[in-house]
Amino acid sequence: MKRLERMLDRDVLTVTGGTVGEVLGEATVADPDVVRSLDDPLSWRPSIIILRGTLAPEGAIVRVGGEGERMIRFSGPAIIYHSREEAIEGLRCGEIRPGQVVVLSGLGLRGSPGMAMTSALIFGLDGAGLLERVAVVTDGQMSGLVNRGLIVGEVSPEAAYGGPLGLVENGDVISIDVERRTVNLEVPQDVLSARRTGPDRVPAVPERGWLSIYERNVQPLPRGAVLLKRD
């Protein structure tokens, strides 16, 4: 707050009984290399960026970090997995190779159910020396510890809502351009339309049980991931 002081309303009361200005009047910055000034940021670019495109019409998140050179463009053939465990086994077996876009589909709010964490695969790719040589796209989420590689998460709409991520097949080309804020599936729309009408594209929701109630009523991530009461 001391670093942001010139942007704050210093006259607002705080829980201490004093104003923001009075509280910050006694504050100091212990280490200027850690809590930097507004004129000397770690990076001039944002560290979290929203991408949109034919693969994520309602948005996806990529975290590029604030320091050092990061891969911001990538294009390659997809290799599809439907769970974190399946992808980790694929990594062990040597299925994942440099130049590919690793797709983890069906890990979103409805599909998982609950948004699955994909970080174990990311750390595995790092340990295998592949994290800077592949990209990852998923409708799941990532840990805050994931700060390397080109990882596109929380793709929306998720596969279980009929999103384009669920239509991706092995070998489809996916292009990511962080600078242009895009993530696109390079497949003609007529082909995607034909795939959408194919069998078992969206998993059936169980008719009974608490998870079925959740899966039927949970709203997509851009709408707040809340449960909506249906009449």
When divided into structural domains, the chain yields a total of: 2
Query: Is there a single domain that holds both residue 167 and residue 58?
Result: yes
C-alpha–C-alpha distance, residues 203 and 199, integer Å: 10
Q: What pLDDT score does 68 carry?
A: 54
| Residue numbers of the chain with a pLDDT score lower than 50 | none
Can you give the residue range of the structural domain that contains 13? 1-38
Whether 63 and 124 share a structural domain: yes
Domain shared by 29 and 65, yes or no: no
Domain assignment of residue 158, yes or no: yes
65 and 34 assigned to the same domain: no
What are the pLDDT digits (tens) for 142-174?
Answer: 877 677 789 999 999 999 888 999 999 999 999
As a dihedral over the C-alpha atoms of residue 110, residue 62, residue 194, residue 189, rounded to 10 degrees, the angle is 140
The pLDDT of residue 30 is 93
DSSP-assigned beta bridge partners for residue 53: 56
Q: Please provide residue 223's backbone torsions phi and psi, each rounded to the nearest 5 degrees.
A: -95, 5
Judgement on whether residues 23 and 59 belong to the same structural domain of the protein: no
Q: Judge whether 143 counts as a catalytic residue.
A: yes
For residue 148, being part of any structural domain is answered with: yes
Do the domain assignments include residue 105?
A: yes
Contact 104, 121 (CB under 8 A): yes
- Rounded distance between C-alpha atoms, residue 44 and residue 51, angstroms: 19
Using the CB atoms, write b or e for 186-218: b if 16+ within 10 Å.
ebeeeeeeebeeeeeeeeeeeeeeeeeeebeeb
Task: Please indicate, yes or no, whether residues 33 and 93 belong to a single structural domain of this protein.
Answer: no
pLDDT digit string, tens, across residues 51-65: 999 999 999 999 876
Look at residue 124 and tell me if it is in a domain.
yes
Q: Which of 37, 47, 83, 143 is catalytic?
A: 143
Looking at the structure, do residues 34 and 63 belong to the same domain, yes or no?
no
Distance CA 36, CA 179 (A): 25
According to the model, what pLDDT value does residue 206 have?
64
CATH code for the domain in which residue 114 is found: 3.50.30.80
